[in-house]
């Protein structure tokens, strides 16, 4: 790992903003050089007062891992920080050399594209990572669960941790049908075998695998497994833990889990002598941290997103509002939901909300779906085929080729493809066996479509019956043709 890559990683761990990170990387071009405030001001084209303000925030963020920064009064803080980072860098380099070079530390290819997509515009969430680091440093083993509503960034937190730490992982994805215990075990088993060169464990259960893997750990090494979206797991009700997670764990084994909120009776995570801790993103005590991260994400898109920043800046200028007013109001509208911003920010940039002012934008993710449905006139009879195509995706709940959707809907494939392209921001498109396959992108949109409160009950019932009849007819025709 290069020095700058190392600094970039440490900046992310400590939750530095984009501007603070840029300042740190510029101020420390290599481990033995530091640039003074005047030079920084010139290189970054900002005032010295701004440089001082950013450095102050950098010291504040690093103080939790480098307490000497809080003890130092006046000048000398930056040299303390440089020495701390240099020492940590050499420790990380030494650890890489000591570790068995035959160990495969790469992320599972099964999830690499998902992780890359999730962390593209990642920022903030330092308080979550700090809490997890504290948990693994104060407990011999355990389960740490991040809880939150749909769209609050749980999967992105999991993806970022996996990316930064090359952790073993499994992402349950309901809309892809990748959410069953046997698939989880198969994937984790393969990763543990590759990572720790385990032998004769091809049919071993998870408890056995973890014991075998810990025997391969070096001194002070921890085994961390990240499992995302427990709420999307498809598993029969029973006394067993969700995904058959072990009730007991060997020392130095930790699970970082994520899930939505649900009733305690549905938790299905029972342990014996193993510490469990939960961090609920919806807890009011995290309101300020969530709001700060949401605002930072908006600013990141506003100032650094190459695809949307110009459109966003033009919209703000045309509405005669300040960037700060835009950030603050949209953060409030989002209700601390990143999925809301994923949809609304591009829509603003593309001119889809030119007819609305800032205060009239949708309030929260559900209202966004409702208003978008209305603006697309999806309740009109003329849009019935578009609804049918979306409902086919809902009923299958896994990737399905455009050709198959067209056959079920009894429509020309070209027309169905146009409908899918019109809704592509809500869909995941990928190639399987040479075919372009589609599924619903996010569980929140899938859940929105299922109840369809905007359609009266009778109309909804008729549409669902029609879709299911079309699916039944499709398979009957296949069976008859092969009969």
pLDDT of 460 higher than 80: no
Q: Which three-class secondary structure state does DSSP give residue 350? A: coil
Bridge partners (DSSP) of residue 258 are 146
Give pLDDT, residue 243: 93
State whether the Cα torsion 117-1-214-203 is positive or negative: positive
**CA-to-CA distance for 408 and 30, rounded, in angstroms?**
60
pLDDT tens readout for residues 180-213: 999 999 999 999 999 999 999 988 999 999 999 9
Range 381-482 has CATH code 1.10.10.10: yes
pLDDT of 264 higher than 70: no
- State the average pLDDT over residues 235-239: 82
Alpha-carbon distance values, 240 to 10, 70, 214 (Å): 39, 48, 24
pLDDT of 58 higher than 70: yes
State both tokens at 478: 């296949």
| Structural domain spans, the chain | 3-98, 109-282, 286-364, 381-482
Give pLDDT, residue 219: 83
pLDDT of 451 higher than 60: no
Give pLDDT, residue 328: 93
pLDDT of 230 higher than 90: yes
The fraction of the chain above a pLDDT of 90, given in percent, is 35
pLDDT of 459 higher than 80: no
State both tokens at 116: 């890359």
- State the average pLDDT over residues 244-266: 89
pLDDT tens readout for residues 113-157: 889 988 887 888 889 999 999 999 999 999 999 998 888 889 999
Q: Which three-class secondary structure state does DSSP give residue 214? A: helix
Q: Which three-class secondary structure state does DSSP give residue 210? A: helix
For residue 98, what pLDDT band results from cuts at 50, 70 and 90?
very low
109-282 shares the fold of 3-98: no
pTM exceeding 0.75: no
Closest CA to 364 of 340, 346, 344: 340
Give pLDDT, residue 101: 43
Closest CA to 358 of 314, 383, 325, 384: 325
Give pLDDT, residue 227: 97
CATH of domain 3-98: 1.10.10
What is the CATH T-level fold of the domain 109-282, as seen in this structure? Rossmann fold (3.40.50)
- State the average pLDDT over residues 225-250: 91
- DSSP-assigned letters across all residues of 383-396: GHHHHHHHHHHHHH
Give pLDDT, residue 294: 92
- State the average pLDDT over residues 338-352: 90
Closest CA to 209 of 242, 226, 185: 185
306: Cα within 13 Å, side-chain hemisphere: 1
Better-scored residue on pLDDT, 74 or 399: 399
pLDDT tens readout for residues 305-324: 888 899 999 999 999 999 99
What is the separation of C-alpha 260 from the centre of its chain, rounded to a whole number of angstroms? 13
Whole-number average pLDDT of the chain: 86
């Amino acid at each position: 790992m290069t020095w700058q890559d190392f600094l970039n990683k440490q900046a992310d761990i400590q939750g530095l903003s984009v501007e603070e990170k840029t300042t740190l990387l510029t101020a420390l071009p290599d481990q033995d050089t530091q640039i003074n405030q005047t030079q920084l001001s010139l290189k970054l084209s900002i005032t010295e007062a701004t440089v001082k303000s950013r450095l102050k925030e950098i010291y504040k963020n690093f103080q939790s891992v480098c307490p000497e920064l809080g003890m130092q009064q006046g000048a000398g803080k930056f040299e303390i920080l440089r020495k701390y980072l240099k020492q940590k860098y050499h420790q990380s380099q030494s650890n890489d050399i000591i570790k068995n070079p035959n160990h495969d530390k790469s992320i599972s290819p099964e999830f690499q594209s998902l992780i890359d997509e999730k962390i593209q515009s990642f920022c903030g969430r330092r308080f979550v990572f700090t809490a997890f680091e504290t948990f693994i440093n104060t407990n011999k083993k355990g389960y740490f669960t991040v809880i939150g509503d749909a769209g609050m960034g749980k999967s992105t937190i999991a993806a970022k941790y996996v990316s930064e730490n090359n952790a073993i992982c499994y992402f349950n994805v309901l809309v892809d049908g990748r959410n069953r215990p046997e698939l989880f075990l198969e994937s984790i088993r393969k990763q543990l075998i590759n990572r720790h060169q385990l032998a004769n464990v091809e049919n071993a259960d998870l408890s056995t695998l973890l014991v075998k893997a810990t025997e391969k750990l070096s001194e002070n090494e921890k085994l961390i497994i990240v499992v995302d979206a427990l709420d999307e797991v498809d598993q029969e009700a029973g006394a067993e833990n969700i995904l058959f997670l072990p009730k007991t764990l060997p020392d130095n084994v930790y699970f970082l889990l994520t899930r939505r909120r649900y009733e305690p009776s549905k938790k299905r995570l029972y342990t014996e002598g193993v510490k469990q801790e939960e961090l609920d993103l919806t807890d009011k005590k995290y309101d300020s941290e969530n709001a700060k991260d949401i605002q930072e994400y908006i600013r990141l898109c506003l100032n650094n997103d190459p695809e949307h920043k110009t459109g966003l800046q033009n919209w703000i200028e045309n509405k005669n509002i300040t960037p700060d007013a835009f950030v603050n109001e949209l953060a409030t509208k989002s209700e601390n939901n990143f999925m809301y911003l994923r949809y609304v920010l591009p829509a603003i940039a593309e001119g889809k909300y030119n007819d609305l002012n800032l205060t009239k934008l949708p309030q929260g993710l559900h209202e966004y779906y409702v208003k978008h449905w209305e603006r697309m006139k999806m309740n009109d009879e003329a849009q019935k085929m578009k609804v049918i195509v979306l409902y086919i995706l809902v009923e299958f709940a896994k990737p399905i080729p455009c050709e198959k959707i067209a056959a079920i809907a009894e429509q020309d494939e070209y027309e169905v493809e146009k409908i899918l392209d019109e809704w592509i921001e809500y869909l995941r498109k990928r190639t399987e066996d040479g075919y372009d396959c589609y599924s619903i992108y996010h569980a929140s949109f899938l859940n929105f479509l299922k109840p369809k409160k905007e359609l009266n009950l009778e109309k909804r019932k008729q549409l669902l019956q029609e879709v299911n009849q079309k699916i039944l007819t499709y398979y009957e025709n296949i069976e008859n043709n092969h009969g």
